[in-house]
Amino acid sequence: MIRSKSNKIGDVVIVAMCVLLIFICVVPLLNVLARSLSSTEALIRNEVLLWPKGWNVEAYQTVLDDRVFTTSLLWTAMLTVICTVVSMSLTILCAYPLIYDNLKGRKLINSVFVLTMYFSAGIIPNYLLYKALGLLDKPTVLILPNALSVFNMILLRSFFFGIPESLRESAEIDGAGPIRILLRIYLPLSTSVLATLALFYAVGRWNGFSDALMYMQRNKQYYPIQLLLYNILQNTTQIEVATQEGFFAPGLSETLKMASVMFATVPIILVYPWLQRYFIHGVTIGAIKG
């Protein structure tokens, strides 16, 4: 097939835009990495841009030796897994029944879900509600309130609608119930969208800190890594390494901040390439079984 000149120009423009976006996303990360590996003298003189000067891994050693930081990192990883499992379970259980035409009150239920996307009580009523429910300063306050995203639920429901009804009708004729149909037909054909939504939930939980900032005032052992990182960047944290001589020196303090940012950023970045295989695999399964 011979491509026209306009199509070739369009491809060049798209490639240029993609390269520009990659550059915008990668440069800040490279700057943080370079600053975390540079000497304190180079940082004080503001000589570091994209390449480390005066290689120094002391900041990484300091962060790894800090028990509070490593504990928070492990807790955040466990919290992310728990929240993702809970959120995906609720999303599937909400989206699947709404594809049945004979579900009583389906339109009303849909309207109630959509209504919550546009209206919310606000921070103060939510705080009072969580206090009345006894959720404040407990790990459950980081899991339950934001367990379900209506937007993600609508995406999954729309994907379920795209699966031919003939598959479901054939299974019903063979005597399969709704749960078996969900497990044997809908979920295997929805691997790609499930992996995508799981990534959305995982990234959202890993990067979240505002809920812990507002609702976790006392139990600091349950601080997620992003809130601890926020405190480090604000120089308000009282971690063990803060008592070491020179922690708040201009150069070393900046290096520790950048090393902390890298430790909080790299784990979730590594998740996407691992899930990318499942995106492709899910699409392939859907094409074969459809």
Segment 126-141, tens digit of pLDDT? 889 899 988 888 899 9
What is the total residue count of the chain? 290
Assign 230 a pLDDT band (cuts: 50, 70, 90). Answer: confident
pLDDT digits (tens, 9 = 90+) for 4-23: 767 778 888 888 998 999 88
pLDDT over 60 at 45, yes or no: yes
pLDDT over 80 at 77, yes or no: yes
Q: Cα dist. 173→97, 164, 168 in Å?
A: 19, 15, 9
Give pLDDT, residue 280: 57
CB-based contacts of 272, cutoff 8 Å, min separation 6: 199
Give pLDDT, residue 89: 95
Give pLDDT, residue 273: 73
Answer for the pair 42, 31: CB distance below 8 angstroms, yes or no: no
- Specify the range with the lowest mean pLDDT, choosing from 9-18, 205-214, 233-242: 233-242
Answer for the pair 137, 217: CB distance below 8 angstroms, yes or no: yes
Higher-scoring residue by pLDDT: 171, 242: 171
Domain 58-289 has CATH 1.10.3720.10: yes
pLDDT over 90 at 88, yes or no: yes
Give pLDDT, residue 248: 42
pLDDT over 80 at 274, yes or no: no
Answer for the pair 244, 168: CB distance below 8 angstroms, yes or no: no
Tokens of 211: 């809920």
Query: Could you tell me how many helices (H) and strands (E) the chain has, helices first?
Result: 14, 0
Distance CA 46, CA 255 (A): 12
Closest CA to 199 of 149, 159, 157, 158: 149
Distance CA 85, CA 204 (A): 13
Closest CA to 74 of 270, 250, 267: 267
Distance CA 215, CA 142 (A): 8
Q: Cα dist. 271→77, 80, 261, 277 in Å?
A: 11, 12, 17, 11
> Residue 150 burial by CB count (10 A; 0-12/13-18/19+): exposed, middle or buried?
middle
Q: In this structure, which amino acid lies at residue 101?
A: D
Higher-scoring residue by pLDDT: 234, 206: 206
Answer for the pair 167, 184: CB distance below 8 angstroms, yes or no: no
In the chain, domain spans: 1-56, 58-289
Give pLDDT, residue 81: 93
pLDDT over 50 at 156, yes or no: yes
Distance CA 251, CA 38 (A): 9
Residue ranges in 191-249 assigned as alpha helix (H): 191-207, 210-215, 225-233
Q: Cα dist. 213→141, 157, 209, 219, 256 in Å?
A: 11, 33, 6, 11, 22
